[in-house]
């Protein structure tokens, strides 16, 4: 799991991100991001809605898997950028880790956030 300081807390700052951020989307996942110069590091949120799966266990598994990819590559992501990753497919719960990693990194590269 990503450290506490690198995650969002509360709905206010996430609301600001959704109102003012830029968006990039591929088939199964979307990324919303905005620069945040007020903090020394960026923050990350992973959103998995109930439409993806009614089971909280499955939604949390998807969330943990996405956070793990972000955590392992956090050093290569641009600093001072807040981002929200929204997952639209239940396939993320069972797909191989390499495929999940490839898809998420390509999304970050499309947004220009991966160095």
Instruction: Report pLDDT digits (tens) over 22-62.
Output: 999 998 999 999 998 888 889 999 999 999 999 999 999 99
Residue ranges covered by each domain of the chain: 4-109
Contact 88, 94 (CB under 8 A): no
Give, in order, the Cα–Cα distances in Å from 6 to each of 1, 23, 74, 97: 10, 20, 10, 22
What pLDDT score does 11 carry? 74
| DSSP notation for 24-47 | EE-SSEEEEEEE-TTSSS--EEEE
Q: For the full predicted model, state whether its pTM sits above 0.85.
A: yes
Kindly report the CATH number that applies to the domain delimited by 4-109. 3.30.230.10
What pLDDT score does 77 carry? 93
What pLDDT score does 21 carry? 93
């Amino acid at each position: 799991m990503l450290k506490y300081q690198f995650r969002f807390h509360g709905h206010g700052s996430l609301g600001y991100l959704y109102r003012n951020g830029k968006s990039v989307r591929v088939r199964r996942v979307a990324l919303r991001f905005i620069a945040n110069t007020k903090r020394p590091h960026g923050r990350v949120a992973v959103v998995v809605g109930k439409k993806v799966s009614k089971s909280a266990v499955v939604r949390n598994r998807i969330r943990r898997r996405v956070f793990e990819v972000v955590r392992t590559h956090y050093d290569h992501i641009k600093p001072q950028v807040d981002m929200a990753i929204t997952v639209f497919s239940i396939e993320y719960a069972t797909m191989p880790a390499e495929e999940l990693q490839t898809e998420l990194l390509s999304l970050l590269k499309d947004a220009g956030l991966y160095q």
